[in-house]
Structure 1
Protein backbone atom coordinates (compact mmCIF):
# COMPACT_ATOMS: atom_id res chain seq x y z
CA UNK A 1 0.00 0.00 0.00
CA UNK A 2 1.20 3.52 -0.72
CA UNK A 3 3.88 5.22 -2.74
CA UNK A 4 7.31 4.21 -3.93
CA UNK A 5 10.15 6.63 -3.35
CA UNK A 6 11.97 7.65 -6.51
CA UNK A 7 14.34 10.18 -5.00
CA UNK A 8 12.68 13.08 -6.82
CA UNK A 9 13.32 16.54 -5.41
CA UNK A 10 10.29 17.93 -3.59
CA UNK A 11 9.09 21.30 -4.90
CA UNK A 12 7.85 23.99 -2.52
CA UNK A 13 4.12 23.45 -2.06
CA UNK A 14 1.16 25.17 -0.47
CA UNK A 15 -1.51 23.14 1.30
CA UNK A 16 -5.07 23.83 2.43
CA UNK A 17 -6.99 21.65 4.88
CA UNK A 18 -10.75 21.26 5.38
CA UNK A 19 -12.16 19.39 8.39
CA UNK A 20 -15.33 20.37 10.24
CA UNK A 21 -13.85 19.15 13.54
CA UNK A 22 -12.11 22.31 14.75
CA UNK A 23 -9.97 20.45 17.30
CA UNK A 24 -8.77 17.86 14.76
CA UNK A 25 -8.17 20.65 12.22
CA UNK A 26 -5.97 22.61 14.62
CA UNK A 27 -4.03 19.49 15.60
CA UNK A 28 -3.43 18.55 11.97
CA UNK A 29 -2.36 22.09 11.16
CA UNK A 30 0.16 22.16 14.00
CA UNK A 31 1.59 18.80 13.01
CA UNK A 32 1.89 19.62 9.30
CA UNK A 33 3.51 22.98 10.02
CA UNK A 34 6.29 21.19 11.89
CA UNK A 35 6.64 18.03 9.80
CA UNK A 36 6.65 19.70 6.38
CA UNK A 37 8.28 23.01 7.20
CA UNK A 38 11.16 22.54 4.74
CA UNK A 39 9.02 21.86 1.69
CA UNK A 40 5.53 23.18 2.33
CA UNK A 41 3.60 26.26 3.41
CA UNK A 42 0.35 25.58 5.24
CA UNK A 43 -1.76 28.10 3.34
CA UNK A 44 -5.05 27.92 5.24
CA UNK A 45 -7.32 25.79 7.43
CA UNK A 46 -11.11 25.85 7.33
CA UNK A 47 -14.02 23.99 8.89
CA UNK A 48 -16.29 24.92 5.96
CA UNK A 49 -16.58 22.72 2.87
CA UNK A 50 -18.03 25.54 0.76
CA UNK A 51 -15.21 27.88 1.80
CA UNK A 52 -12.64 25.25 0.83
CA UNK A 53 -14.26 24.77 -2.58
CA UNK A 54 -14.34 28.52 -3.22
CA UNK A 55 -10.70 28.96 -2.25
CA UNK A 56 -9.62 26.05 -4.44
CA UNK A 57 -11.44 27.38 -7.49
CA UNK A 58 -10.17 30.95 -7.24
CA UNK A 59 -6.65 32.32 -7.57
CA UNK A 60 -4.35 31.84 -5.85
CA UNK A 61 -5.34 28.30 -4.93
CA UNK A 62 -3.17 25.88 -2.92
CA UNK A 63 -1.23 23.14 -4.66
CA UNK A 64 -2.90 20.49 -2.50
CA UNK A 65 -6.07 20.18 -0.44
CA UNK A 66 -6.47 17.69 2.41
CA UNK A 67 -10.16 16.77 2.66
CA UNK A 68 -11.74 15.05 5.65
CA UNK A 69 -14.21 12.42 4.46
CA UNK A 70 -16.83 12.79 7.19
CA UNK A 71 -18.22 16.33 7.37
CA UNK A 72 -21.70 17.61 8.15
CA UNK A 73 -22.07 20.40 5.58
CA UNK A 74 -21.26 18.10 2.67
CA UNK A 75 -19.21 14.92 2.47
CA UNK A 76 -15.54 14.85 1.60
CA UNK A 77 -16.41 12.85 -1.53
CA UNK A 78 -18.69 15.69 -2.65
CA UNK A 79 -15.95 18.25 -2.01
CA UNK A 80 -13.40 16.27 -4.02
CA UNK A 81 -15.73 15.69 -6.97
CA UNK A 82 -16.90 19.31 -7.05
CA UNK A 83 -13.33 20.58 -7.22
CA UNK A 84 -12.02 17.93 -9.58
CA UNK A 85 -14.79 18.45 -12.13
CA UNK A 86 -13.68 22.08 -12.39
CA UNK A 87 -9.92 21.99 -11.87
CA UNK A 88 -7.18 19.71 -13.20
CA UNK A 89 -4.24 21.11 -11.25
CA UNK A 90 -4.86 20.97 -7.52
CA UNK A 91 -3.91 17.70 -5.83
CA UNK A 92 -6.62 16.25 -3.58
CA UNK A 93 -5.80 14.01 -0.63
CA UNK A 94 -8.63 12.25 1.21
CA UNK A 95 -8.08 11.89 4.97
CA UNK A 96 -10.21 10.03 7.49
CA UNK A 97 -10.26 8.64 10.99
CA UNK A 98 -12.39 5.71 9.77
CA UNK A 99 -10.96 2.58 8.11
CA UNK A 100 -9.59 3.52 4.69
CA UNK A 101 -11.65 0.78 3.05
CA UNK A 102 -14.82 2.77 3.73
CA UNK A 103 -13.80 5.62 1.43
CA UNK A 104 -10.90 4.56 -0.79
CA UNK A 105 -12.83 3.54 -3.92
CA UNK A 106 -15.25 6.47 -3.74
CA UNK A 107 -12.40 8.93 -3.19
CA UNK A 108 -10.49 7.58 -6.20
CA UNK A 109 -13.61 7.72 -8.38
CA UNK A 110 -14.30 11.30 -7.27
CA UNK A 111 -10.80 12.37 -8.36
CA UNK A 112 -8.55 12.16 -5.29
CA UNK A 113 -4.86 11.35 -5.70
CA UNK A 114 -4.52 9.33 -2.49
CA UNK A 115 -6.08 8.53 0.87
CA UNK A 116 -4.47 8.52 4.32
CA UNK A 117 -5.43 7.94 7.94
CA UNK A 118 -5.53 11.08 10.06
CA UNK A 119 -4.33 9.17 13.10
CA UNK A 120 -1.19 7.78 11.44
CA UNK A 121 1.02 10.85 11.18
CA UNK A 122 3.93 8.97 9.63
CA UNK A 123 1.75 7.58 6.85
CA UNK A 124 0.06 10.95 6.37
CA UNK A 125 3.40 12.71 5.94
CA UNK A 126 4.72 10.07 3.53
CA UNK A 127 1.54 10.21 1.47
CA UNK A 128 1.62 14.01 1.22
CA UNK A 129 5.24 13.95 0.07
CA UNK A 130 4.56 11.20 -2.45
CA UNK A 131 1.60 13.03 -3.94
CA UNK A 132 3.74 16.16 -4.16
CA UNK A 133 6.22 14.14 -6.24
CA UNK A 134 3.32 12.97 -8.43
CA UNK A 135 4.04 9.35 -7.60
CA UNK A 136 1.28 6.84 -8.43
CA UNK A 137 -0.63 5.81 -5.32
CA UNK A 138 -2.27 2.42 -4.79
CA UNK A 139 -4.37 1.28 -1.84
CA UNK A 140 -5.22 -2.43 -1.77
CA UNK A 141 -6.36 -3.04 -5.38
CA UNK A 142 -7.39 0.59 -5.98
CA UNK A 143 -5.23 2.76 -8.23
CA UNK A 144 -5.66 6.47 -7.59
CA UNK A 145 -5.48 8.73 -10.66
CA UNK A 146 -3.24 11.71 -11.26
CA UNK A 147 -5.13 14.99 -11.09
CA UNK A 148 -5.10 15.64 -14.84
CA UNK A 149 -6.24 12.09 -15.64
CA UNK A 150 -9.12 12.28 -13.16
CA UNK A 151 -10.24 15.63 -14.58
CA UNK A 152 -10.19 14.26 -18.14
CA UNK A 153 -12.13 11.12 -17.15
CA UNK A 154 -14.85 13.09 -15.39
CA UNK A 155 -15.15 15.46 -18.34
CA UNK A 156 -15.46 12.54 -20.77
CA UNK A 157 -18.28 10.87 -18.85
CA UNK A 158 -20.22 13.98 -17.88
CA UNK A 159 -22.81 13.93 -20.64
CA UNK A 160 -23.55 10.24 -21.31
CA UNK A 161 -25.52 8.19 -18.80
CA UNK A 162 -27.41 10.48 -16.44
CA UNK A 163 -24.97 9.95 -13.58
CA UNK A 164 -23.65 13.49 -13.96
CA UNK A 165 -27.14 14.95 -13.65
CA UNK A 166 -27.16 13.83 -10.01
CA UNK A 167 -26.61 16.33 -7.24
CA UNK A 168 -23.38 15.94 -5.23
CA UNK A 169 -25.30 14.30 -2.37
CA UNK A 170 -27.15 11.90 -4.70
CA UNK A 171 -23.88 10.99 -6.41
CA UNK A 172 -22.14 10.32 -3.10
CA UNK A 173 -24.93 8.01 -1.96
CA UNK A 174 -24.88 6.10 -5.26
CA UNK A 175 -21.08 5.78 -5.05
CA UNK A 176 -21.27 4.45 -1.50
CA UNK A 177 -24.04 2.04 -2.50
CA UNK A 178 -21.89 0.72 -5.33
CA UNK A 179 -19.10 0.13 -2.82
CA UNK A 180 -21.39 -2.31 -0.99
CA UNK A 181 -22.68 -0.03 1.77
CA UNK A 182 -26.22 -0.51 3.04
CA UNK A 183 -28.57 2.42 3.57
CA UNK A 184 -27.90 2.15 7.30
CA UNK A 185 -24.12 2.39 6.78
CA UNK A 186 -24.49 5.30 4.37
CA UNK A 187 -26.81 7.10 6.79
CA UNK A 188 -24.22 6.75 9.55
CA UNK A 189 -21.39 8.06 7.37
CA UNK A 190 -23.32 11.08 6.10
CA UNK A 191 -25.34 11.92 9.20
CA UNK A 192 -28.69 11.12 7.58
CA UNK A 193 -31.57 8.77 8.34
CA UNK A 194 -31.87 5.51 6.34
CA UNK A 195 -35.22 6.77 5.01
CA UNK A 196 -33.56 9.91 3.65
CA UNK A 197 -30.90 7.79 1.97
CA UNK A 198 -33.70 5.79 0.34
CA UNK A 199 -35.28 9.00 -0.95
CA UNK A 200 -32.00 10.06 -2.55
CA UNK A 201 -31.69 6.63 -4.20
CA UNK A 202 -35.21 6.94 -5.64
CA UNK A 203 -34.44 10.39 -7.05
CA UNK A 204 -31.22 9.11 -8.60
CA UNK A 205 -33.08 6.21 -10.21
CA UNK A 206 -35.54 8.59 -11.85
CA UNK A 207 -32.79 10.85 -13.17
CA UNK A 208 -30.83 7.93 -14.62
CA UNK A 209 -33.87 6.19 -16.10
CA UNK A 210 -33.53 2.97 -14.11
CA UNK A 211 -36.09 1.10 -12.04
CA UNK A 212 -34.27 0.23 -8.84
CA UNK A 213 -31.11 0.41 -6.76
CA UNK A 214 -29.58 -2.69 -8.38
CA UNK A 215 -29.85 -1.17 -11.86
CA UNK A 216 -28.52 2.14 -10.58
CA UNK A 217 -25.46 0.46 -9.09
CA UNK A 218 -24.93 -1.51 -12.31
CA UNK A 219 -24.92 1.77 -14.24
CA UNK A 220 -22.24 3.23 -12.00
CA UNK A 221 -20.16 0.04 -12.06
CA UNK A 222 -20.27 0.10 -15.86
CA UNK A 223 -18.91 3.63 -15.82
CA UNK A 224 -16.15 2.67 -13.40
CA UNK A 225 -15.13 -0.22 -15.63
CA UNK A 226 -14.71 2.09 -18.62
CA UNK A 227 -12.26 4.41 -16.85
Structure 2
Protein backbone atom coordinates (compact mmCIF):
# COMPACT_ATOMS: atom_id res chain seq x y z
CA UNK A 1 0.00 0.00 0.00
CA UNK A 2 1.39 3.38 -1.05
CA UNK A 3 0.71 5.87 1.75
CA UNK A 4 0.17 9.36 0.33
CA UNK A 5 0.26 12.72 2.08
CA UNK A 6 -1.30 15.64 0.19
CA UNK A 7 -0.20 19.20 0.88
CA UNK A 8 -2.31 21.94 -0.70
CA UNK A 9 -3.73 25.12 0.84
CA UNK A 10 -7.15 24.58 -0.80
CA UNK A 11 -9.40 22.12 0.99
CA UNK A 12 -11.45 21.45 -2.13
CA UNK A 13 -8.28 20.32 -3.94
CA UNK A 14 -7.30 18.02 -1.09
CA UNK A 15 -10.76 16.50 -1.02
CA UNK A 16 -10.76 16.05 -4.78
CA UNK A 17 -7.45 14.21 -4.67
CA UNK A 18 -8.69 12.08 -1.80
CA UNK A 19 -11.64 10.94 -3.92
CA UNK A 20 -9.33 10.13 -6.82
CA UNK A 21 -7.03 8.04 -4.64
CA UNK A 22 -9.96 6.15 -3.13
CA UNK A 23 -10.44 4.39 -6.48
CA UNK A 24 -6.94 2.86 -6.37
CA UNK A 25 -6.65 -0.37 -4.35
CA UNK A 26 -2.90 0.00 -3.87
CA UNK A 27 -2.91 3.63 -2.66
CA UNK A 28 -3.85 4.73 0.84
CA UNK A 29 -4.62 8.16 2.31
CA UNK A 30 -1.95 9.02 4.89
CA UNK A 31 -3.20 12.52 5.65
CA UNK A 32 -3.38 16.09 4.43
CA UNK A 33 -1.69 19.41 5.17
CA UNK A 34 -2.74 22.95 4.33
CA UNK A 35 0.76 24.44 4.45
CA UNK A 36 4.42 23.56 4.24
CA UNK A 37 5.32 23.52 7.95
CA UNK A 38 2.43 21.13 8.65
CA UNK A 39 3.56 18.85 5.82
CA UNK A 40 7.14 18.80 7.14
CA UNK A 41 5.88 17.93 10.62
CA UNK A 42 3.78 15.05 9.29
CA UNK A 43 6.64 13.66 7.20
CA UNK A 44 8.88 13.74 10.27
CA UNK A 45 6.35 11.62 12.15
CA UNK A 46 6.78 8.94 9.52
CA UNK A 47 4.42 6.65 7.65
CA UNK A 48 4.58 8.58 4.36
CA UNK A 49 5.57 6.88 1.10
CA UNK A 50 4.78 9.69 -1.35
CA UNK A 51 4.16 13.40 -0.84
CA UNK A 52 1.98 15.38 -3.24
CA UNK A 53 3.12 18.96 -2.76
CA UNK A 54 1.57 22.12 -4.18
CA UNK A 55 3.95 24.85 -5.31
CA UNK A 56 1.89 27.96 -4.55
CA UNK A 57 1.17 28.07 -0.81
CA UNK A 58 1.17 30.63 1.99
CA UNK A 59 3.98 30.88 4.56
CA UNK A 60 6.48 28.86 2.50
CA UNK A 61 6.13 27.95 -1.13
CA UNK A 62 6.37 24.35 -2.27
CA UNK A 63 9.89 24.66 -3.64
CA UNK A 64 11.18 25.87 -0.27
CA UNK A 65 9.45 22.95 1.43
CA UNK A 66 10.81 20.54 -1.19
CA UNK A 67 14.36 21.79 -0.64
CA UNK A 68 14.14 21.23 3.12
CA UNK A 69 12.48 17.83 2.85
CA UNK A 70 15.05 16.53 0.36
CA UNK A 71 17.80 17.62 2.75
CA UNK A 72 16.17 15.70 5.62
CA UNK A 73 14.58 12.84 3.67
CA UNK A 74 16.49 12.46 0.39
CA UNK A 75 14.74 9.20 -0.51
CA UNK A 76 11.19 10.51 -0.04
CA UNK A 77 9.41 10.71 -3.42
CA UNK A 78 7.85 14.15 -3.83
CA UNK A 79 5.43 14.80 -6.67
CA UNK A 80 4.95 18.52 -7.26
CA UNK A 81 1.48 19.80 -8.11
CA UNK A 82 0.88 23.13 -9.81
CA UNK A 83 -1.50 25.22 -11.86
CA UNK A 84 1.47 26.99 -13.44
CA UNK A 85 2.59 26.12 -16.98
CA UNK A 86 5.35 23.48 -17.01
CA UNK A 87 7.92 25.93 -18.34
CA UNK A 88 7.75 27.98 -15.15
CA UNK A 89 8.59 25.45 -12.46
CA UNK A 90 9.02 21.90 -13.81
CA UNK A 91 12.77 22.01 -14.37
CA UNK A 92 13.39 23.93 -11.15
CA UNK A 93 11.39 21.33 -9.22
CA UNK A 94 13.37 18.44 -10.69
CA UNK A 95 16.67 20.19 -10.02
CA UNK A 96 15.68 20.51 -6.35
CA UNK A 97 15.00 16.78 -6.11
CA UNK A 98 11.33 16.34 -7.00
CA UNK A 99 10.42 12.94 -8.41
CA UNK A 100 7.92 14.45 -10.80
CA UNK A 101 5.83 17.47 -11.76
CA UNK A 102 2.12 17.25 -12.47
CA UNK A 103 -0.27 19.99 -13.51
CA UNK A 104 -3.54 20.03 -11.57
CA UNK A 105 -5.40 19.87 -14.85
CA UNK A 106 -4.15 16.28 -15.32
CA UNK A 107 -6.80 13.55 -15.34
CA UNK A 108 -7.22 11.09 -12.48
CA UNK A 109 -5.54 8.21 -14.34
CA UNK A 110 -2.43 10.26 -14.89
CA UNK A 111 -2.28 11.24 -11.23
CA UNK A 112 -2.58 7.60 -10.13
CA UNK A 113 0.11 6.62 -12.63
CA UNK A 114 2.38 9.40 -11.39
CA UNK A 115 2.04 8.28 -7.76
CA UNK A 116 2.78 4.66 -8.63
CA UNK A 117 5.77 5.69 -10.73
CA UNK A 118 7.47 7.84 -8.09
CA UNK A 119 6.68 5.29 -5.37
CA UNK A 120 8.77 2.79 -7.34
CA UNK A 121 11.69 5.19 -7.21
CA UNK A 122 11.35 6.38 -10.78
CA UNK A 123 10.89 9.86 -12.23
CA UNK A 124 7.48 10.80 -13.56
CA UNK A 125 7.92 13.13 -16.51
CA UNK A 126 5.17 14.13 -18.94
CA UNK A 127 6.09 14.81 -22.59
CA UNK A 128 5.76 18.53 -21.94
CA UNK A 129 8.12 18.41 -18.96
CA UNK A 130 10.54 16.19 -20.91
CA UNK A 131 10.69 18.87 -23.59
CA UNK A 132 11.45 21.55 -21.01
CA UNK A 133 14.08 19.36 -19.36
CA UNK A 134 15.75 18.56 -22.67
CA UNK A 135 15.88 22.24 -23.50
CA UNK A 136 17.47 23.06 -20.14
CA UNK A 137 20.06 20.29 -20.49
CA UNK A 138 20.87 21.33 -24.04
CA UNK A 139 21.33 24.94 -22.99
CA UNK A 140 23.51 23.87 -20.08
CA UNK A 141 25.93 22.11 -22.42
CA UNK A 142 26.54 25.22 -24.44
CA UNK A 143 27.87 28.60 -23.56
CA UNK A 144 26.34 30.38 -20.60
CA UNK A 145 25.12 33.07 -22.99
CA UNK A 146 22.71 30.53 -24.52
CA UNK A 147 20.73 30.24 -21.28
CA UNK A 148 17.65 32.46 -20.93
CA UNK A 149 18.56 35.26 -18.55
CA UNK A 150 15.96 34.25 -15.95
CA UNK A 151 17.39 30.70 -15.85
CA UNK A 152 20.51 32.14 -14.27
CA UNK A 153 18.53 33.18 -11.19
CA UNK A 154 18.84 31.12 -8.04
CA UNK A 155 15.70 29.64 -6.50
CA UNK A 156 15.35 32.53 -4.03
CA UNK A 157 16.08 35.12 -6.70
CA UNK A 158 13.40 33.58 -8.90
CA UNK A 159 10.90 33.79 -6.01
CA UNK A 160 11.66 37.49 -5.53
CA UNK A 161 11.64 38.02 -9.31
CA UNK A 162 8.08 36.69 -9.65
CA UNK A 163 6.81 38.73 -6.72
CA UNK A 164 8.40 41.91 -8.04
CA UNK A 165 6.97 41.21 -11.49
CA UNK A 166 3.47 40.90 -10.03
CA UNK A 167 3.69 44.29 -8.31
CA UNK A 168 4.73 43.39 -4.76
CA UNK A 169 6.82 45.91 -2.86
CA UNK A 170 10.12 45.11 -1.16
CA UNK A 171 8.38 45.28 2.22
CA UNK A 172 5.61 42.92 1.14
CA UNK A 173 8.12 40.44 -0.26
CA UNK A 174 10.20 40.60 2.91
CA UNK A 175 7.13 39.77 5.00
CA UNK A 176 5.95 36.98 2.70
CA UNK A 177 9.35 35.28 2.48
CA UNK A 178 10.39 36.02 6.08
CA UNK A 179 13.43 38.02 4.96
CA UNK A 180 14.87 41.37 5.98
CA UNK A 181 13.94 44.22 3.60
CA UNK A 182 17.65 44.89 2.98
CA UNK A 183 18.07 41.26 1.92
CA UNK A 184 15.19 41.57 -0.54
CA UNK A 185 16.72 44.77 -1.91
CA UNK A 186 19.99 42.90 -2.45
CA UNK A 187 18.15 40.14 -4.31
CA UNK A 188 16.36 42.77 -6.39
CA UNK A 189 19.66 44.35 -7.40
CA UNK A 190 21.04 40.94 -8.44
CA UNK A 191 17.87 40.17 -10.43
CA UNK A 192 18.01 43.47 -12.32
CA UNK A 193 21.66 42.84 -13.11
CA UNK A 194 21.15 39.24 -14.29
CA UNK A 195 18.12 40.02 -16.44
CA UNK A 196 19.55 43.23 -17.84
CA UNK A 197 16.55 45.41 -16.96
CA UNK A 198 16.57 48.76 -15.20
CA UNK A 199 13.51 48.79 -12.97
CA UNK A 200 10.46 46.85 -11.78
CA UNK A 201 8.33 47.92 -14.75
CA UNK A 202 10.85 46.52 -17.22
CA UNK A 203 11.09 43.42 -15.03
CA UNK A 204 7.34 42.90 -15.28
CA UNK A 205 7.48 43.37 -19.07
CA UNK A 206 10.31 40.83 -19.23
CA UNK A 207 8.21 38.31 -17.28
CA UNK A 208 5.21 38.84 -19.59
CA UNK A 209 7.36 38.61 -22.72
CA UNK A 210 8.79 35.26 -21.57
CA UNK A 211 5.36 34.00 -20.41
CA UNK A 212 6.55 33.52 -16.83
CA UNK A 213 3.36 34.77 -15.20
CA UNK A 214 -0.05 33.15 -15.12
Normalising by structure 2, we get a TM-score of 0.65
CA separation in 2, counterparts of 1:60 and 1:216? 41
Q: Which runs of 5+ in 1 are unaligned?
A: 1-11, 144-170, 188-192, 218-227
Work out the number of aligned pairs and report it. Answer: 167
Contact 1:69 1:94 in 2 (8 A): yes
Alignment partner, residue 93 of structure 1 = 79
Higher RCO (CA 8 Å, separation ≥ 6 residues): 1
Give the 5 Å matches for 1:21-100. 21-34=10-23, 36=24, 38-56=25-43, 58-100=44-86
Unaligned 5+ segments in structure 2 are 135-153, 196-214
Structure 1, residues 160-203: CA drift from partner, whole Å, max 9, x if none?
A: xxxxxxxxxxx74314468xx57214x6xxxxx24347766961
Q: Report deviation, 1:89.
A: 2.0
Helix, strand or coil: the match of 1:103?
Answer: helix
Instruction: Name the structure 1 match of 2:190.
Output: 212
2:132 aligned partner: 141
- Looking at CA atoms only, which structure, 1 or 2, has the larger radius of gyration? 2
Which position in structure 2 is the counterpart of 1:173? 156
Q: Deviations over 1:41-83 (max 9, x none)?
A: 1110121321110111x24230110001111121111111111
C-alpha root-mean-square deviation of aligned residues, in Å? Answer: 3.1
Considering fraction of residues, name the structure with more helix: 2
- TM norm structure 1: 0.62
